[in-house]
Chains A and B, each alone.
Chain A
Amino acid sequence: MWELISKLFDTSDFPARWHCGHWTSLHGWIHIISDFAIWGAYAAIPIILYYFISKKRDVPFSFIFILFGGFILSCGTGHLVEAIIFWHPWYRFSALIKFATAVISWATIFALIPVIPKALELKSPLELEKIVKERTSELERINENLAIEVVQRKEAEEEQVQLAALVNSSYDAIIRKDLNSVIQSWNYGAEKIFGYTAKEIIGKSITVLIPPDLLNEEVDIMRKVKSGGPIETFESKRLRKDGSTFDASITISPINDTNGNIIGASKIARDITKQKQMKKDLSEAMEKVKQSNQELEMFAYVASHDLQEPLRMVASFTKLLEEKYKDKLDEKANKYIAFSVNGAKRMQELINSLLDYSRIQRADTEPEELDCNEIVNEVILNMSNIKETGVKINYLELPKVYSNKIQLSQVFQNLISNAIKYRSSRPLVIDISAKKEKDKWLFAIKDNGIGFDQEHAERIFELFERLHSTKSYEGTGMGLAICKKIIEKQGGGIWAESEADKGSTFYFTLPA
């Protein structure tokens, strides 16, 4: 062994190949030139390979290339030595080279074997292109989705911006606080209402805004918020920066994160001091009006009541005068006395009617179920002069209604007595009927009396309005006004239809 290595280039034991056998020049030079050519190629190839690897730095299995380069180079060197042996018989060197070549070659094989399956997996350009295409289209799809997501995000952002603008432009205080009651956001409205700027107040506890005697409200509120319950809007007092308190209407809602956990609460507070004041003023004004109304009615009642006394004196004594001294006085005196008596009598009727009118509002007996047939019957019975007038009154199957007996009787009485009073020369017939219309009863009292022009139909219901002088027909002008007040008090309406010389129909409605 040692001999081999120490005498690597020793040529003493061997002849040069030219001298070993009968070589023709041609034969010899074919070997030599081919070996040189092979050596050249086998030297160039590794250089090319090296160049390839160095340029393409990410070549897989690069060590295979090195091995390849190695055995090719080694093999090439072997061929070179074979050519050289024609002159210098370096058979030992040749052996070494050949041995090295064999080793590297087999090493390459052994290195290749495990690599082959991996190499098989390497994609061909076609396959790679296909893969690239797939990847590209997938990317495009992903891109599209991203684009959509971007649009959605943008929209969400815009909405956020708008919401933020909404919150900020609100005149209500909109405040966000965390579960420790620390203020986290503060809008323009809050600045205006409470007086603190956002910078001053964010980070402070919300209790800064609560008057000291109401601090337990916050405890209650946070408890409710944490339990996730809804908190109804409530009224309370809150504290401004300048120390003044004001009435506030407060709404608190829990704020959840995306997982549904409660992370804080939003508080919307509105300054309702003005509102409260207005409400107070309104109810005060209404009280005053109510009181004033009551006073007026009391006045009307008292006036009519107290007026009756002296009136009784006037009426009684003028009549007594008439009775006792009619024969003793001249015509003029009798006439004067007659005027006085008449005047006093009309005044009494007027005051009675006024008293009735003023009593309508005060009368608040519980409404009861009334049979209108009975009411009309009673009213007719109470009218003493009916038989004399020869009037025929028809009423059939009038309904039952909920009303006040005295007042309803008064309505029928007034309408019937009007019909009788304003009768014509023909025999008077009065028809009383009732019709159900949706949720009310429509009553009609129809007569064939003297009637009136439809243009007066509204006027006659006004207080003291009369279409005829007292000379032609007596009366105070209050009967229909009283009917109107009674009917309207019970939630109905009253009106009339008429034609001069033909007759009139008076209608009124009552809730069924």
Chain B
Amino acid sequence: MAIVELEKVSYAYGKSKAAQDEAISDISFKIEEGEYVGIIGHTGSGKSTLIKHLNCILKPTCGKIYIDGVDVWKNKATVAGNRQNVGLVFQYPEYQLFEETVEKDIAFGPKNLGLSADEVRFRVARAIEMVGLSSSLLGKNPFELSGGEKRRVAIAGILAMDPKILVLDEPTVGLDPAGKEKILNIIKYYNRDENRTVVHVTHSMEDIARYADKILIMNGGKILSFDSVEETFKRASMLRSVGLDVPKIYEVFLKLKDKGFDVPLNVYTIQRALEVVKNIVERKVKP
């Protein structure tokens, strides 16, 4: 059974019912448990609107949302349950920090879940470890931390709620490459090692090409394509037609192929490219 299922979901901001005012319209898709799905699209394509539905922040104007097999808008209890199942990391999550210590801030979510003090402490310790911060930071004031650290604390606050589905809205925006790398690794860890479902919204093809299993492309409030990474990049011209790009390294390999080199095309990351190139060089040297 799919862990996330959207059935003809539409949403219009304000009170308008007109089809042209819809931020997203007629969205249907399924995400299986343990999948890492990247959502990509232009500003205003409806990405953020879409993921706010996964967490019951927005109620669809029409259509149904099933999370973990439950119709989330059935009653108040299902809405509350949904907030436990789905952890949503907003854009610039560091702006939501408010407690006087890092520990208290991470504990805010688990406390709201009504967990025991021991369990909360355990969750906090685990979350701070997951985001790769030293536990000596727990007693510090979150406002003293650096931007990247603040963001990791904010993400820890969501991870401490132990959501089955982790949804992130542009988690790496505005960070330096090192900070970006750390965040991407946290997400990968949560997906691969904890075997949780991840939905990652981004502008950067490079970011999702690394770890995502599938890519959902939004354009003008509709789903343009929802397919595996490989299949998606095969249609590079479709991506370009909506102003999106394939990863730079993939483009290099496309051009190489065009020039008549015998190279594989499933290369989306620098590491993979390195392997492939090494392989080719070795083959050339050996015979």
Instruction: Say whether A associates with B.
Output: no
A contacts, CB < 8 Å to B: none
